[in-house]
Chains A and B, each alone.
Chain A
Protein backbone atom coordinates (compact mmCIF):
# COMPACT_ATOMS: atom_id res chain seq x y z
CA UNK A 1 0.00 0.00 0.00
CA UNK A 2 1.33 3.42 -0.97
CA UNK A 3 -0.16 6.72 -0.01
CA UNK A 4 0.09 10.45 -0.69
CA UNK A 5 -1.65 12.84 1.65
CA UNK A 6 -2.04 16.53 2.33
CA UNK A 7 -4.04 18.81 4.58
CA UNK A 8 -7.34 18.11 2.84
CA UNK A 9 -6.83 14.86 0.93
CA UNK A 10 -5.53 11.30 0.99
CA UNK A 11 -4.73 8.98 -1.90
CA UNK A 12 -4.05 5.26 -1.39
CA UNK A 13 -2.73 2.77 -3.96
CA UNK A 14 -3.45 -0.91 -3.33
CA UNK A 15 -1.00 -2.53 -5.71
CA UNK A 16 -2.45 -6.07 -5.45
CA UNK A 17 -5.86 -4.96 -6.71
CA UNK A 18 -4.65 -2.04 -8.91
CA UNK A 19 -7.03 0.19 -6.97
CA UNK A 20 -6.43 3.87 -6.21
CA UNK A 21 -8.65 5.38 -3.53
CA UNK A 22 -9.15 9.17 -3.41
CA UNK A 23 -10.53 11.00 -0.36
CA UNK A 24 -11.20 14.65 0.47
CA UNK A 25 -10.62 17.81 -1.58
CA UNK A 26 -7.81 18.16 -4.14
CA UNK A 27 -6.86 21.75 -4.92
CA UNK A 28 -3.15 21.58 -5.65
CA UNK A 29 -1.36 24.33 -7.57
CA UNK A 30 -0.76 23.06 -11.10
CA UNK A 31 1.09 20.33 -12.97
CA UNK A 32 4.16 20.23 -10.77
CA UNK A 33 2.23 19.71 -7.55
CA UNK A 34 0.10 17.02 -9.15
CA UNK A 35 3.14 15.13 -10.53
CA UNK A 36 3.54 12.73 -7.54
CA UNK A 37 -0.14 11.73 -7.81
CA UNK A 38 0.10 11.26 -11.59
CA UNK A 39 3.20 9.10 -11.07
CA UNK A 40 1.34 6.99 -8.49
CA UNK A 41 -1.49 6.48 -10.99
CA UNK A 42 0.96 5.54 -13.75
CA UNK A 43 2.34 2.72 -11.57
CA UNK A 44 -0.92 0.86 -12.21
CA UNK A 45 -0.22 0.83 -15.97
CA UNK A 46 2.60 -1.71 -15.59
CA UNK A 47 0.07 -4.43 -14.74
CA UNK A 48 -2.50 -4.92 -17.48
CA UNK A 49 -3.70 -8.27 -16.11
CA UNK A 50 -6.53 -6.72 -14.12
CA UNK A 51 -8.69 -3.62 -14.53
CA UNK A 52 -7.44 -0.44 -12.86
CA UNK A 53 -9.99 0.91 -10.40
CA UNK A 54 -10.06 4.60 -9.47
CA UNK A 55 -12.38 4.90 -6.50
CA UNK A 56 -13.42 8.57 -6.45
CA UNK A 57 -16.56 8.17 -4.33
CA UNK A 58 -15.06 10.07 -1.41
CA UNK A 59 -13.39 12.76 -3.53
CA UNK A 60 -15.59 15.75 -2.86
CA UNK A 61 -13.67 18.40 -4.76
CA UNK A 62 -11.21 18.44 -7.66
CA UNK A 63 -9.91 21.65 -9.23
CA UNK A 64 -9.26 21.98 -12.96
CA UNK A 65 -5.55 21.22 -12.53
CA UNK A 66 -6.67 17.95 -10.93
CA UNK A 67 -9.02 17.28 -13.85
CA UNK A 68 -6.04 17.86 -16.15
CA UNK A 69 -4.01 15.35 -14.11
CA UNK A 70 -6.77 12.69 -14.48
CA UNK A 71 -7.11 13.41 -18.21
CA UNK A 72 -3.33 13.02 -18.64
CA UNK A 73 -3.54 9.62 -16.95
CA UNK A 74 -6.52 8.54 -19.07
CA UNK A 75 -4.79 9.62 -22.30
CA UNK A 76 -1.64 7.73 -21.33
CA UNK A 77 -3.69 4.62 -20.38
CA UNK A 78 -5.54 4.81 -23.72
CA UNK A 79 -2.22 4.47 -25.50
CA UNK A 80 -1.33 1.25 -23.60
CA UNK A 81 -2.69 -1.95 -25.15
CA UNK A 82 -5.01 -4.03 -22.99
CA UNK A 83 -5.56 -1.50 -20.20
CA UNK A 84 -9.03 -1.34 -18.69
CA UNK A 85 -10.09 1.45 -16.33
CA UNK A 86 -13.10 1.56 -14.09
CA UNK A 87 -14.03 4.68 -12.14
CA UNK A 88 -16.26 4.43 -9.09
CA UNK A 89 -18.20 7.65 -8.58
CA UNK A 90 -20.93 8.87 -6.28
CA UNK A 91 -24.38 10.16 -7.18
CA UNK A 92 -24.21 12.29 -4.03
CA UNK A 93 -21.20 14.31 -5.22
CA UNK A 94 -22.45 16.98 -7.67
CA UNK A 95 -19.45 17.10 -10.04
CA UNK A 96 -18.87 13.39 -10.56
CA UNK A 97 -21.38 12.55 -13.30
CA UNK A 98 -20.67 15.51 -15.59
CA UNK A 99 -16.93 15.85 -15.21
CA UNK A 100 -16.17 12.15 -15.45
CA UNK A 101 -18.26 11.86 -18.61
CA UNK A 102 -15.73 14.20 -20.27
CA UNK A 103 -12.98 11.70 -19.42
CA UNK A 104 -15.04 9.00 -21.10
CA UNK A 105 -14.99 11.07 -24.30
CA UNK A 106 -11.18 10.82 -24.16
CA UNK A 107 -11.27 7.04 -23.66
CA UNK A 108 -14.59 5.50 -24.76
CA UNK A 109 -13.79 2.13 -23.13
CA UNK A 110 -13.52 3.81 -19.70
CA UNK A 111 -16.28 2.51 -17.47
CA UNK A 112 -17.94 4.73 -14.86
CA UNK A 113 -20.03 3.20 -12.08
CA UNK A 114 -22.17 5.84 -10.45
CA UNK A 115 -23.19 4.43 -7.08
Chain B
Protein backbone atom coordinates (compact mmCIF):
# COMPACT_ATOMS: atom_id res chain seq x y z
CA UNK B 1 0.00 0.00 0.00
CA UNK B 2 1.16 3.51 -0.76
CA UNK B 3 0.13 6.33 1.50
CA UNK B 4 1.33 9.78 0.63
CA UNK B 5 0.56 12.71 2.84
CA UNK B 6 1.06 16.26 1.66
CA UNK B 7 0.81 19.23 3.94
CA UNK B 8 2.33 22.16 2.09
CA UNK B 9 1.49 25.00 -0.21
CA UNK B 10 2.80 23.33 -3.35
CA UNK B 11 0.83 25.05 -6.04
CA UNK B 12 -0.90 28.30 -6.81
CA UNK B 13 -4.40 26.99 -6.25
CA UNK B 14 -3.80 25.83 -2.72
CA UNK B 15 -1.34 28.47 -1.57
CA UNK B 16 -3.74 29.98 0.95
CA UNK B 17 -5.30 26.71 1.94
CA UNK B 18 -4.53 23.75 4.11
CA UNK B 19 -4.91 20.43 2.42
CA UNK B 20 -4.08 16.82 2.88
CA UNK B 21 -4.13 13.91 0.44
CA UNK B 22 -3.99 10.18 1.10
CA UNK B 23 -3.42 7.78 -1.81
CA UNK B 24 -4.03 4.03 -1.87
CA UNK B 25 -2.87 1.46 -4.39
CA UNK B 26 -5.95 -0.73 -4.53
CA UNK B 27 -4.21 -3.76 -5.96
CA UNK B 28 -1.88 -4.10 -2.99
CA UNK B 29 -4.46 -5.64 -0.62
CA UNK B 30 -7.85 -7.31 -1.06
CA UNK B 31 -11.00 -5.26 -0.44
CA UNK B 32 -11.86 -7.03 2.80
CA UNK B 33 -8.52 -6.43 4.48
CA UNK B 34 -8.45 -2.85 3.19
CA UNK B 35 -11.94 -2.06 4.54
CA UNK B 36 -10.63 -1.30 8.02
CA UNK B 37 -8.44 1.44 6.56
CA UNK B 38 -11.49 3.36 5.32
CA UNK B 39 -12.59 3.93 8.90
CA UNK B 40 -9.08 4.74 10.13
CA UNK B 41 -8.53 7.29 7.35
CA UNK B 42 -11.99 8.84 7.81
CA UNK B 43 -11.51 9.16 11.59
CA UNK B 44 -8.13 10.80 10.99
CA UNK B 45 -9.59 13.40 8.60
CA UNK B 46 -12.45 14.12 11.03
CA UNK B 47 -10.00 14.68 13.90
CA UNK B 48 -7.65 16.69 11.70
CA UNK B 49 -10.28 19.22 10.66
CA UNK B 50 -11.16 20.13 14.25
CA UNK B 51 -7.85 22.01 14.63
CA UNK B 52 -9.26 24.66 12.33
CA UNK B 53 -12.52 25.03 14.18
CA UNK B 54 -11.38 25.42 17.77
CA UNK B 55 -13.62 25.20 20.78
CA UNK B 56 -13.88 27.91 23.37
CA UNK B 57 -14.16 26.79 26.95
CA UNK B 58 -17.60 27.33 28.29
CA UNK B 59 -19.21 28.19 24.94
CA UNK B 60 -21.42 25.23 24.11
CA UNK B 61 -22.16 26.45 20.54
CA UNK B 62 -18.48 26.16 19.59
CA UNK B 63 -18.11 22.67 21.02
CA UNK B 64 -21.33 21.51 19.47
CA UNK B 65 -20.35 22.80 16.02
CA UNK B 66 -16.89 21.23 16.26
CA UNK B 67 -18.38 17.88 17.18
CA UNK B 68 -20.85 18.09 14.29
CA UNK B 69 -18.18 19.03 11.77
CA UNK B 70 -15.86 16.25 12.94
CA UNK B 71 -18.65 13.73 12.53
CA UNK B 72 -19.76 15.13 9.15
CA UNK B 73 -16.21 14.93 7.74
CA UNK B 74 -15.72 11.42 9.14
CA UNK B 75 -19.04 10.17 7.73
CA UNK B 76 -18.52 11.73 4.30
CA UNK B 77 -14.89 10.59 4.01
CA UNK B 78 -15.86 7.06 5.03
CA UNK B 79 -18.74 6.87 2.51
CA UNK B 80 -16.69 8.29 -0.38
CA UNK B 81 -13.82 5.90 0.37
CA UNK B 82 -16.16 2.89 0.66
CA UNK B 83 -17.70 3.71 -2.72
CA UNK B 84 -14.29 4.24 -4.34
CA UNK B 85 -12.96 0.95 -2.95
CA UNK B 86 -16.05 -0.93 -4.13
CA UNK B 87 -16.23 0.53 -7.62
CA UNK B 88 -12.60 1.16 -8.52
CA UNK B 89 -11.71 -0.70 -11.72
CA UNK B 90 -8.58 -2.67 -10.81
CA UNK B 91 -7.00 -2.46 -14.28
CA UNK B 92 -7.12 1.35 -14.34
CA UNK B 93 -3.64 2.47 -13.44
CA UNK B 94 -4.29 5.21 -10.92
CA UNK B 95 -4.37 5.19 -7.14
CA UNK B 96 -7.55 5.88 -5.17
CA UNK B 97 -7.08 9.30 -3.60
CA UNK B 98 -8.85 11.15 -0.84
CA UNK B 99 -8.26 14.87 -0.56
CA UNK B 100 -9.30 17.16 2.29
CA UNK B 101 -9.12 20.88 1.72
CA UNK B 102 -9.82 23.65 4.20
CA UNK B 103 -10.77 27.18 3.24
CA UNK B 104 -12.02 29.99 5.46
CA UNK B 105 -15.61 29.34 4.53
CA UNK B 106 -15.78 25.65 3.58
CA UNK B 107 -14.34 22.16 3.93
CA UNK B 108 -14.10 19.94 0.85
CA UNK B 109 -13.64 16.18 0.85
CA UNK B 110 -12.91 14.67 -2.60
CA UNK B 111 -12.27 11.09 -3.59
CA UNK B 112 -11.12 9.89 -7.01
CA UNK B 113 -10.99 6.40 -8.46
CA UNK B 114 -10.71 4.68 -11.81
CA UNK B 115 -13.74 3.38 -13.72
CA UNK B 116 -14.51 2.02 -17.15
CA UNK B 117 -16.25 4.26 -19.68
CA UNK B 118 -19.43 2.15 -19.23
CA UNK B 119 -19.35 2.56 -15.43
CA UNK B 120 -18.77 6.30 -15.85
CA UNK B 121 -21.88 6.51 -18.07
CA UNK B 122 -24.02 4.80 -15.43
CA UNK B 123 -22.64 7.06 -12.72
CA UNK B 124 -23.33 10.18 -14.81
CA UNK B 125 -26.95 9.07 -15.24
CA UNK B 126 -27.26 8.66 -11.47
CA UNK B 127 -25.75 12.12 -10.91
CA UNK B 128 -28.35 13.66 -13.22
CA UNK B 129 -31.10 11.79 -11.37
CA UNK B 130 -29.78 13.10 -8.06
CA UNK B 131 -29.69 16.69 -9.27
CA UNK B 132 -33.30 16.58 -10.42
CA UNK B 133 -35.04 15.79 -7.14
CA UNK B 134 -35.17 16.62 -3.46
CA UNK B 135 -32.53 14.59 -1.60
CA UNK B 136 -34.85 13.79 1.33
CA UNK B 137 -37.55 12.40 -0.98
CA UNK B 138 -35.02 10.48 -3.08
CA UNK B 139 -33.56 9.03 0.12
CA UNK B 140 -36.95 7.78 1.24
CA UNK B 141 -37.60 6.22 -2.16
CA UNK B 142 -34.13 4.67 -2.19
CA UNK B 143 -34.65 3.11 1.25
CA UNK B 144 -37.90 1.53 0.09
CA UNK B 145 -36.15 0.19 -3.01
CA UNK B 146 -33.13 -1.04 -1.07
CA UNK B 147 -35.42 -3.05 1.19
CA UNK B 148 -36.20 -5.20 -1.82
CA UNK B 149 -33.07 -4.77 -3.93
CA UNK B 150 -29.52 -6.02 -4.01
CA UNK B 151 -26.19 -4.43 -3.18
CA UNK B 152 -25.93 -2.62 -6.49
CA UNK B 153 -28.15 0.32 -5.56
CA UNK B 154 -26.96 0.66 -1.99
CA UNK B 155 -24.05 3.02 -2.64
CA UNK B 156 -26.30 5.84 -3.83
CA UNK B 157 -27.83 5.98 -0.36
CA UNK B 158 -24.48 7.18 1.00
CA UNK B 159 -24.46 10.14 -1.39
CA UNK B 160 -28.10 10.97 -0.65
CA UNK B 161 -27.48 11.00 3.11
CA UNK B 162 -24.56 13.42 2.63
CA UNK B 163 -26.96 15.92 1.05
CA UNK B 164 -30.01 15.20 3.18
CA UNK B 165 -28.42 14.74 6.62
CA UNK B 166 -25.24 16.84 6.39
CA UNK B 167 -26.22 19.64 3.94
CA UNK B 168 -23.23 18.76 1.73
CA UNK B 169 -23.03 20.14 -1.80
CA UNK B 170 -21.85 17.47 -4.22
CA UNK B 171 -19.77 17.96 -7.37
CA UNK B 172 -18.42 15.49 -9.92
CA UNK B 173 -15.65 15.48 -12.46
CA UNK B 174 -15.01 12.86 -15.11
CA UNK B 175 -11.56 12.78 -16.77
CA UNK B 176 -10.36 10.50 -19.54
CA UNK B 177 -7.34 8.49 -18.40
CA UNK B 178 -4.15 9.92 -19.97
CA UNK B 179 -2.96 6.58 -21.38
CA UNK B 180 -5.93 4.18 -21.13
CA UNK B 181 -8.61 5.52 -23.47
CA UNK B 182 -11.25 3.01 -22.27
CA UNK B 183 -10.86 4.22 -18.71
CA UNK B 184 -11.80 7.32 -16.76
CA UNK B 185 -11.14 8.92 -13.42
CA UNK B 186 -14.20 9.94 -11.42
CA UNK B 187 -13.79 12.56 -8.71
CA UNK B 188 -16.66 13.05 -6.29
CA UNK B 189 -16.46 16.09 -4.02
CA UNK B 190 -18.57 16.99 -1.01
CA UNK B 191 -18.45 20.58 0.20
CA UNK B 192 -19.48 21.56 3.72
CA UNK B 193 -20.11 25.24 4.32
CA UNK B 194 -18.56 26.82 7.40
CA UNK B 195 -20.70 29.94 7.18
CA UNK B 196 -22.53 30.47 10.46
CA UNK B 197 -19.98 28.20 12.16
CA UNK B 198 -18.77 29.87 15.34
CA UNK B 199 -14.97 29.97 15.46
CA UNK B 200 -14.27 29.07 11.82
CA UNK B 201 -10.68 30.09 11.14
CA UNK B 202 -9.14 27.83 8.51
Q: Which residues of A contact B (CB under 8 A)?
A: 7-8, 25, 27, 29-32, 61, 63-65, 67-68, 71-72, 75-76, 94-95, 98-99, 102, 105-106
Contact = CB atoms under 8 A, between A and B. Distances in A.
B157 A68 contact: yes
B140 A64 contact: no
Contacts of B155: 64
A72 B39 contact: no
Given A64-B79, A71-B146, A102-B165, A29 B31 contact: yes
A94 B32 CA distance: 28
Contacts of B36: 7
Interface in B141-179: 143-144, 146-147, 150-151, 154-155, 157-158, 161, 164-165
B50 interface: no
Q: Which applies to chain B's interface (DSSP): helix, strand, loop or mixed?
A: helix
Count class of interface residues, chain B: 20 to 34
A8 B38 CA distance: 13
Interface of B: 31-32, 35-36, 38-39, 67-68, 71-72, 74-75, 78-79, 82, 86, 136, 139-140, 143-144, 146-147, 150-151, 154-155, 157-158, 161, 164-165
A57 to B, nearest CB: 15
Contacts of B147: 71-72, 75-76
B143 A63 contact: no
A28 to B, nearest CB: 8
